[in-house]
Amino acid sequence: MSYRISNRLAVLVALAAVAAAFLPGGAEGQLLRSTPRARISETATERAPIARDRTVRMAVEVEIAAGMHVNANPPTYDWLIPVEVSVAGVDGVRVIEAYYPEAESRKFPYDEKPFLVYEGTFVVGLLLAVAETAATGDRELEIVLDYQACNDQACFAPTETSVRLPVTIVADPGHSVETESPLLARAPFPKR
């Protein structure tokens, strides 16, 4: 009986030691998914409300935590996880094109070749299609940021974060008015 208890105690002590190794800070925090390392800080659409059977541009500002970076989209290598912004939550609204900014080429101690990454704050441009069958009225569009944050020593578990954006969908495009936002000007949309 005492052998079983001491064996269980040894296993519990070992598990506690492993758990302690993953406290926040540096590579030790690698498995902590709940630690936010990136966030969506601002969004803007070029029209409000948005009309059915039309496309609308949206700009999404992303902030990466200090000392962190994310892989560019597209990434340096196919096997890397790129940052990606998408939308969900409203039937009939989907991304048909995403425009990511030019990446920075950075060399890290763990590889001889540089990687294409984003650091700090950057803006992504989305071209959304609103289907002719999209329900009209007030909705909540979820903007989703999928990413894998890394620092100079390690990459953390891939995760996502999101924000909800209230939108109104109208049937008549004449009721959709152009909006102005400096964020839209910062998005890397192709020149019209």
Place of tokens 């441009």: 125
Token pair of 192 as six digits: 């019209």
Structural domain for 85, as ranges: 36-186
Is 191 contained in some domain? no
How many structural domains does the chain have?
Answer: 1
pLDDT > 90 in the chain, percent: 77
Whether 81 maps to a domain, the answer reads yes
Query: For the segment 34-52, what is each residue's pLDDT rounded down to a tens digit?
Result: 578 999 999 999 999 999 9
Task: Look at residue 192 and tell me if it is in a domain.
Answer: no
Q: Is 82 inside a domain boundary?
A: yes
Which residues fall within 8 angstroms of residue 1, CB to CB, at 6 or more apart?
none
DSSP letter string, 123-146: EEEEEEEE-TTPPPEEEEEEEEEE
Round to whole Å and give the CA distance between 126 and 95.
6
Which amino acid is located at 133 in the chain? Answer: T
Enter the tokens of residue 15: 């598990």
> What does the pLDDT read at residue 67?
95
- Asked whether residue 46 is domain-assigned, the answer is yes
| pLDDT tens-place string over residues 14-38 | 333 333 334 444 444 444 455 789 9
pLDDT: which is higher, 72 or 192: 72
Residue 73 lies in a domain: yes
On whether residue 43 sits in a domain, the answer given is yes
* Single pTM value for the model: 0.81
* CATH code, domain carrying 61: 2.60.40.1250
CB 70, CB 38: distance < 8 Å: yes
pLDDT for the residue numbered 25: 43
Residue 158 amino acid letter? P
Q: Which residues contact 154 (CB under 8 A, 6 or more apart)?
A: 26, 27, 30
In a domain, 20, yes or no: no
| C-beta neighbour count of 141 within 10 angstroms | 20
